[in-house]
Structures are given as structure tokens and as C-alpha cells.
Structure 1
Amino acid sequence: MNTSIVIADDHPLMLRGLTDFLTSKGFNIIGSAEDGNTAYNLIVKLKPEIAILDIRMPHKTGLEIAEDCKKNNLPTKIILITFDKEEALFDQAKAFNVYGYILKEFAVEEIEICIKHILKNKPYFSEEIASYLNQNSNTKSEKLELLTKTEMKIIKLISNGNLSNDIADELSISVRTVEKHRSNILAKLELENKPNSLSIWANINKHHL
């Protein structure tokens, strides 16, 4: 296989382990880096077919590199490796056209499978992360079922960027009533009563609403 690959991880053992493993499988590792800036510069300069990036690195994260690659129409397909199971990060990765998302504890077992999927233009995500997100999604659905019709309308309006004044006008109710509904929604979804917490949740989970 002559598939050209750049690997970046700020943990030397992980970087060396992936490099040695993929080299032994016949992949062409044309560059490696321990920070995000170096990794992005290698991608721009070498234009590898695939870049395997730690999601959290100094100077520039794997997500930021993926975003820059998308903005600049770089052809490199991105695989992110991470310990994180946060749905917000996964959603960002999909928004930036990331092709692979692998949990670090399964990186060596899954990386070759992931690359083979990508070479066929098929995205690949760790079964573990998919299972976790499905489970998380079921929990969200159960909580959403607790909301009244009016509360569902309000949270959908919030996910579209509407403020309390806009929602009050849209539903022909008072701002005070909207705020009461917001408080009830926070309680039912078990969210902290902090500024913008509901807006952030609604935006991240927009596809569930």
C-alpha cells in the first residue's frame, strides 16, 4: 500500500506506536508531529491522503486542523483519535467532514480498519463511541418526552437562536411565561441553571428535537 499518511499526537508513545504499526502494515508515513501547528503545516506542504490527529494537542487541536482543512478545501481526509466521548466534540467532527473518529484505547485495533473504510470513501467511527452516543441519545429522548408541547416549541425556537422576547412574540405569551417555561425545561432536562446552558444544549442537540 502506498497510502500517504501524516500522524500527529503529543504523546510520544502513541505517536511511535501508531507509526510503527502502520509502517509494518505497508502504509507510507510521510510525516509526524507532536503539536497541531506542525501537523497542519505538514498537511498543507505534503498533502497526504490521510491525517491521523490527536483531538487535543498544543497550539492547534485536531478539530481546529479539521476545520482549517475544510475551509481551505484541502483534500486530506482526517481521522481523529481521542479519549473523549463528548457528543459535542463528535458533532463538531462531523461538521468539519472528519472521516474517522476513534477512541484511543482501541486505536491500534481499529486504525487499519478505519483507513480501509476511508480509502473506499466510507466514514468510520469506533463501535464504542457509536454505542455510547446511541445510549446517550436514548437518554435524551426519554428526557424530551417529559416536556409539554409548549416546552418543545420553546426549545426548538431556542435551538434556532431565538431569544425570550422573540419566543414570546412567536407564541403570543409574555416574556415572564417564557422564562418560567425555560426554568421548567432546565429542571426536566437536568441542566444547570447557568446563563446560556439551555441555548448551548439546544444547539448541540438540535438534531434530536
Structure 2
Amino acid sequence: MEPSIIIADDHPLVLKGLHDFLVEHNYNVLASAKNGKEALALIMAHQPDLAILDIKMPFFTGLQIAEKCKDAEIKTKIVLITFEKDEAIYNTAKSLGIFGYVLKEFALDEIENCIHSVLNNTPYFSPELVEYIEVDSAKEKIKSLTKTEIKVLKLIGETKTAQEIAKELFISARTVEKHKSNIRQKLALDSNSASLYLFAQEVSNYLKNT
């Protein structure tokens, strides 16, 4: 039997697009709601397997609905769809036990993978969102580095050895190793030799402008 789904979005075109897509792909869409109040009432009445909710809706947001469902011990798995790339919202969603977080611009591309993952009890968060938040968080961490440490990190990202970095910055190789140790500590990175290089690659575009 196909899993039961309720969808909610206050944008009529988005709601229709999502509804039509799911129906065309043979999903059991029980009902659609155009605001948070309707969505919550439908979830309470039907207790579907899955509720796909816009985050920002009149009356109740997707997060507020998730919180009310959690308090009422309703087993419906919640998936949020949103344009928001916001770390605070992302963290709140995870703390509420939300199973999915899909960015609207990728919704139709990702929703089937998301549904499949969620129904197998595996949370699904848009890769684009996770990458954005990780990089955004990394940028904040970089602000704790000194100018010399940032230079060392940039050169590590360019695959320079400790000897080459020492020569370029007119310091000793031992001082370079000390800088590397300080950077790892400030960024809470593993002590393995690849961790700094991988981090530098991850934030390479940001480092170029620093």
C-alpha cells in the first residue's frame, strides 16, 4: 500500500505543482492545505505517514506544526520545503526530529529521493543546504584565525608542503607546524594530516577573498 501524504504550501502554484507531481508518480496524496491551520487539522484528523510542509505559512509555520505533532505524539514524519538556507532553522528542524528538509528550487528533483529515504527512517536534508551551512559555519570559524594562520591555510589548500610554506612566509618549518597545530585546534579539526587540506578546499572560494 502506498504511503499516505498530506501537503501544505501557501503559494497556490507551488502547491499545485507539488500535488500534480506526486499524483503523476502514483503517490497517495490524501489532501492539500494552503495554510498552517488547515495543515495541522488535516494531520490531526488523518495522521498520514508523511506531511510535506512549507516552512513559512499563515497561522502556523512548518516548524510550529512539527512541534505540535511532537507534543501530541503523532507519528507522521515531517518534511519541510523552503527557500531558507538558515542554520538556526536547520538546527531547530533537527532538534524537532524533522525527517526531511528540501530546498524549493530543487524540490521536484529531490522529493522522490527524500520520500524514499524518510519512509526508510533515514532523514533527508538537501545536499545543497548541508553544504551551504557547513561552508557558512566554516567562514565563522575562520574569523578566529590570525592573518598568518589564514596565509598558512591558503597555502595548504594549494598543496604546498611545510618547507615550501616556510620559505614563502620567511618563517621556519617548525613555526609552520605550530601554526598548523593552532589552526586545527581553533577549527576543531582532526589531527590527521589531510584534515587541514580538506578544510582549505571546502572554503577555497572564501579564502581567495580573505
Aligned partner letter, 1:122 = T
1:67 matched to which residue of 2?
A: 67
Aligned partner letter, 2:111 = I
Aligned-residue offset at 1:143: 2.3
Q: Which runs of 5+ in 2 are unaligned?
A: 147-210
Deviations 1:93-124 (A, max 9, x none): 11111100011000000001000001110000
Deviations 1:18-43 (A, max 9, x none): 11111111110001100001100100
Q: 1:71, 1:142 → 2: CA distance? A: 39
Q: 2:116, 2:143 → 1: CA distance? A: 38
Q: 2:53, 2:144 → 1: CA distance? A: 35
SS at 1:30's partner residue?
A: strand
Q: 2:95, 2:26 → 1: CA distance? A: 31
1:6 matched to which residue of 2?
A: 6
What TM-score do you get using the length of structure 1 for normalisation?
0.68
Would you say 1:111 and 2:111 are equivalent positions?
A: yes
Deviations 1:146-182 (A, max 9, x none): 6xxxxxxxxxxxxxxxxxxxxxxxxxxxxxxxxxxxx
Q: Which runs of 5+ in 1 are unaligned?
A: 147-209
Count residues in correspondence. Answer: 146
SS at 1:31's partner residue?
A: strand
SS at 1:56's partner residue?
A: coil
Aligned-residue offset at 1:140: 1.9
SS at 2:143's partner residue?
A: helix
What TM-score do you get using the length of structure 2 for normalisation?
0.68
Flag as ranges the 4+ runs of structure 1 deviating above 4 A. none
2:17 matched to which residue of 1?
A: 17
2:52 matched to which residue of 1?
A: 52
1:99 matched to which residue of 2?
A: 99
The structure with the larger Rg is 2
2:136 matched to which residue of 1?
A: 136
1:192 matched to which residue of 2?
A: none
Q: 2:8, 2:58 → 1: CA distance? A: 11
Q: 1:143, 1:49 → 2: CA distance? A: 44
